A and B are shown apart, each in its own frame.
Chain A
Amino acid sequence: MQKKNGALNAIKIVVLSVVFLLYIFPFFVVLINSFKDRKDILMNPLMIPAKLNLNNYIEAFTKMDYTHAFVNSLIITIFSVILIIVLSAMTAYIFVRRNWKFNQFMFFFMIASMTIPFQAIMIPLVKIYGSIGMMNNKWSLVYMYIGFGASLAVFIYHGFIKSIPLELEEAALIDGCSPLQTFFKIVFPLLKSTTVTIAILDILWIWNDFLLPSLVLISPEQRTLPLSVFYFYGTYTIEYGYAMAGLMLAIIPIIIVYLIMQRQIIEGVLRGSIK
């Protein structure tokens, strides 16, 4: 029995390793080509570069206005995610704990809205916010992310809050806490694992988002990282070397965070899906 399991495990590991290599291969390709010039890339895309030529990175770093774009991405992501978390946790809480018809209706309405394709709203969105002068501004973008992030975050919190026993809150209320105090003192701390999940999902989404910022942010100094990378590509031709380095520069921060926090991230997503 033991032996059979050992063989089985070996097969499993081999299968997983092969699949693993397939999953990692694209990143490897980007990495090696980010050190080569365009001509070498086109001649032999698989060749390991002979030396670490950082020209592409220097070029990409300056042309992308990297520090600026990085800071923009950081500000937008942090503020959007914090606001989405706080506001949607409160919303989900009231949806769960007050079974008013209107709350049920709003909850269903939000879930249903997850099926609206972004294409269907993007131009009206731009037109409406343009006419009230809210375009080309980071904070407008943050506001829009709150709106777009509402459904999923409320949905996930909703599932969790349902599973929290009522007794604690009732005790707090008897002690004279207002509903708001009860929420922040008792309920919100209990939601920690869900909050991590939502934070991760929303960070990944907002950090990488392209279409919405491309519509909202117009002047170059407002650009986020994905926008900067994207503007790196020419119309008819692709400067592969620069582009690969640009891709790496956009990926690196998130990979670093991922490597440091991988356990929390995977576990966060894990917990997020247990209702």
Chain B
Amino acid sequence: MNIEKNFLSKLKTYLIFAGPMTFAFLTVVILPFIYGIYLTFTDWNGISATHAFVGLDNYLQVFNDKVFWSSFLLTLRYVLFSVILVNVIAFFLAYLLTSGIKGQNFFRTGFFTPNLIGGILLGFIWQFIFSNILVYIGELFNLPIFSASWLTDPNKAFWALVIVTVWQYSGYMMVIYIAGFMNIPRELIEAADIDGANSYYRLKNIILPLMVPSFTICIFLTLQRTFMVYDVNLSLTNGGPYKSTELISMHVYNTAFLSQQYGIGQAEAFFLFLIVAIVTLSQVYFSQRMEVES
């Protein structure tokens, strides 16, 4: 479909179709991003009218900051558990909800509901649940696991974050997996049944390979969202207790606005960008190769 033969008509077509979007995209996302990278080489504090050029100082500071690295490792741990749990649970729910049981639409509707509400509000709701409701239930039924708020123990607060993340995203991923299941040709499964394949064999050799595209999307989306999570972190634990659940986005934010070291915060944000870009793009690359192979 290459109708345009010369450069000018190509340019015209491009501008008519993609011009406005390209312009908005470049001016809203890319331009500030580049300007932000420039700011990482300065000592700007976010307010003052002037800033001095400091070269790579900010990056050196980031690499020598132990707290930054521990926050980074914590984020990796959080991403790992969240991505696995979200996808396992979503896959499992999708599997159950495509097996033709009664009321499956009702269940789908329910599981998707958390996605209707923004992260800040979800965090507030769950904070209330962890520090009031569960403690209350703990007292009522004498359950030691709930006797204290989960949000005050570093380890439990971490799992609280994971739980809320799973709760928030599994419904959405479930819908994508349902789509994947519905795309599997019935005949294939029936053929396997006739051949006497057991359900493990069916899962491993028929369903999973055909579900690779769904996994690609879901894992990409969960990786991207969990690496950058901020609002749930803010409204659920606010990094506490004693900064033990400060994920990387929040660390970036606090460096920039609380410690008022804007250049360093921006350098950390740029580092975060590199990591997310490398991880997600290589994930997409490898799973697309898997798709081709299977």
Contact = CB atoms under 8 A, between A and B. Distances in A.
A117 B1 contact: no
A229 B119 CA distance: 13
A124 B33 contact: yes
Overall SS of chain B's interface: helix
Interface string B96-115: 11010111010111111111
A183 B17 contact: yes
B197 interface: no
B128 A210 contact: no
Contacts of A262: 105, 109
Contacts of A26: 114, 122, 125-126, 129, 167
Interface stretch (B56-64, B132-140, B238-246): B132-140
A218 B158 CA distance: 34
A190 to B, nearest CB: 15
A217 interface: no
A201 to B, nearest CB: 9
A209 B121 CA distance: 10
A47 B60 CA distance: 55
Interface in B164-216: 167, 171-172, 175-176, 178-180, 182-183, 213-214
Interface string B74-116: 0000000000000000000100110101110101111111111
B194 to A, nearest CB: 14
Interface in B198-257: 213-214, 217, 224, 227-228, 230-231, 249, 252-253, 256
B133 A15 contact: no
Contact of A98 (B1, B26, B117): B1
B32 A125 contact: yes
A240 interface: yes
Which of A42, A229, A273 has the most B CB atoms < 10 Å from its CB?
A273
Nearest to B25: A150
Contacts, number: 258
Interface of A: 9, 12-13, 15-16, 19-20, 22-27, 29-30, 33, 41-42, 44-46, 87-88, 90-91, 93-95, 97-100, 102-103, 106, 109-110, 112-125, 127-128, 143-144, 146-148, 150-151, 154, 166, 169-170, 173, 179-180, 183, 204, 208-211, 226, 229-230, 233, 240, 243, 247, 250-251, 254-255, 258, 262-263, 265-266, 269-275
Given A119-B228, A124-B39, 16 more contacts: A45-B133, A87-B21, A88-B21, A97-B1, A106-B22, A113-B29, A121-B29, A124-B35, A128-B32, A146-B28, A173-B3, A180-B17, A204-B116, A243-B124, A270-B182, A274-B180
21 contacts: A12-B96, A16-B96, A26-B167, A41-B132, A46-B136, A87-B21, A90-B16, A106-B18, A116-B29, A119-B256, A120-B266, A124-B32, A125-B28, A128-B35, A143-B28, A211-B230, A226-B120, A255-B113, A265-B112, A272-B179, A274-B179
> Which are the 4 A-B pairs with shortest beta-carbon distances?
A147-B28, A208-B118, A120-B269, A124-B32
Interface of B: 1-4, 10, 13-14, 16-18, 20-22, 24-33, 35-36, 39, 46, 93, 96-97, 99, 101-103, 105, 107-122, 124-126, 128-129, 132-133, 136-137, 167, 171-172, 175-176, 178-180, 182-183, 213-214, 217, 224, 227-228, 230-231, 249, 252-253, 256, 262, 265-266, 269-270, 272-273, 276-277, 280-281
